[in-house]
Structure 1
Amino acid sequence: MSRAFVKEGDGALDPLPDLPQSPHPNHVTPRGLAALQSRLHALQTTLAALKSRTDRLDKLPEAAAERDIRYIEARLRTAILRNPATLPLTEAAFGLCITVADEDGTETRYEITGEDEADARLNRITPQSPLARALLGAQIGDEVIWRKPSGASPLTIVKIAHADP
């Protein structure tokens, strides 16, 4: 077999491709910024531990940690800190918690956060989500329409509050 097309390497991996960055502005709350910084520190610690292994035959975990560090560093460089604690509670805005009631009167509380902080289990939604777009700018007592794939749902704004730190 010809060895003309065999890549002879030094055992190092090429860097993994970067993770895609969002095209949206990277607004973050103070809590979201702290979480990104904590995540970066944890990844740097993990990478240091991986590089200190005596058996480093598998370099893929190191490459993955380096890729993830590049992603978090880019997110931190583009972060636009917005402190919701300074906002009045007169209308739904980034970083605030909005309690809504559906047609049955069931109340649900949502928090509009940055993309890295969003978590459906905690009802933390991004400003680009259909629900957040419906809520932003609404005031207590306003009815908004949440356009979902299953159909439009009317929601009434019940309360606007600061998020728990």
Structure 2
Amino acid sequence: MSVAFTKEESAETAAETMLPDRPVSPHPNLVTEAGLKALEDQLHQAQAAYEAAQAIEDVNERRREQALPLRDARYFSTRLRTAQVMPPPASTNTIAFGSTVTFERGDGRVQTYRIVGEDEADPKQGMISYVSPVAQRLMGKAVGDVVDVQGQEIEIVKIV
């Protein structure tokens, strides 16, 4: 039966439970070992939240509570299926996926970031995605190299 013939609350609930899928990046899903573990943990959390919501007796409330974890479970399942675990960088001579790089901006600010996969990127925690403009310009560079990032010069001072 169409929700058009049910009470208004059910129509609203039906719309709430049909969340669009989270967008999946077109880039290769490169991850660190820690990134793979984080994806696994997030999938388990989404599955646990979905299972917990199944215990809710009110069907409308159950649908509302299941919508987000179900969407997240689909996303994390896809990301785990496509994950390509990258080995740690073989050298600290040049910047690669997994490198931690310290650079100095033209204005004197010194910043340190680790280059990681898209799902584990968190600039506030010092991790940037390998597809970010900064990481793209830094990849393959060495200590002492100066690169232009969005009109600002940065000098690489350390690679770990």
TM over 0.5: yes
After TM superposition, give the deviation of residue 104 of structure 1 in Å: 4.4
Query: Using the alignment, how far apart are the partners of 1:53 and 1:45 within structure 2?
Result: 14
After TM superposition, give the deviation of residue 61 of structure 1 in Å: 1.9
Q: TM-score, normalised by structure 2?
A: 0.85
Aligned residues with identical type, % of pairs: 38
Conserved 8 A contact 1:91-1:138: yes
Deviations 1:47-67 (A, max 9, x none): 111101233432122122111
Q: Which residue of 2 aligns with 1:109?
A: 112
After TM superposition, give the deviation of residue 32 of structure 1 in Å: 0.6
Conserved 8 A contact 1:15-1:67: no
Q: Which residue of 2 aligns with 1:72?
A: 76
Q: Which residue of 2 aligns with 1:90?
A: 93
For the residue of structure 2 that corresponds to 1:69, the secondary structure is helix
Query: Using the alignment, how far apart are the partners of 1:5 and 1:113 within structure 2?
Result: 45
Instruction: For 1:32, give the aligned amino acid.
Output: G
Q: 1:146 to 1:53 in 2, by over 3 A?
A: same
For the residue of structure 2 that corresponds to 1:6, the secondary structure is helix
Quick check: which one's helix share is greater?
2
Instruction: For 1:96, give the aligned amino acid.
Output: S
Instruction: For 2:72, give the aligned amino acid.
Output: D
Conserved 8 A contact 2:113-2:123: no
> Does structure 1 residue 155 correspond to structure 2 residue 159?
no
Q: Which runs of 5 or more residues in structure 1 are unaligned? A: none
After superposing the two structures, state which structure 1 stretch, 55-64 or 21-30, moved more: 55-64
Q: TM-score, normalised by structure 1?
A: 0.82
Q: 1:105 to 1:17 in 2, by over 3 A?
A: closer
After TM superposition, give the deviation of residue 81 of structure 1 in Å: 0.4
1:47 to 45, 50, 65: 50
For the residue of structure 1 that corresponds to 2:60, the secondary structure is coil
Q: Which runs of 5 or more residues in structure 2 are unaligned? A: none
After TM superposition, give the deviation of residue 5 of structure 1 in Å: 9.1
Total equivalences in the alignment = 152
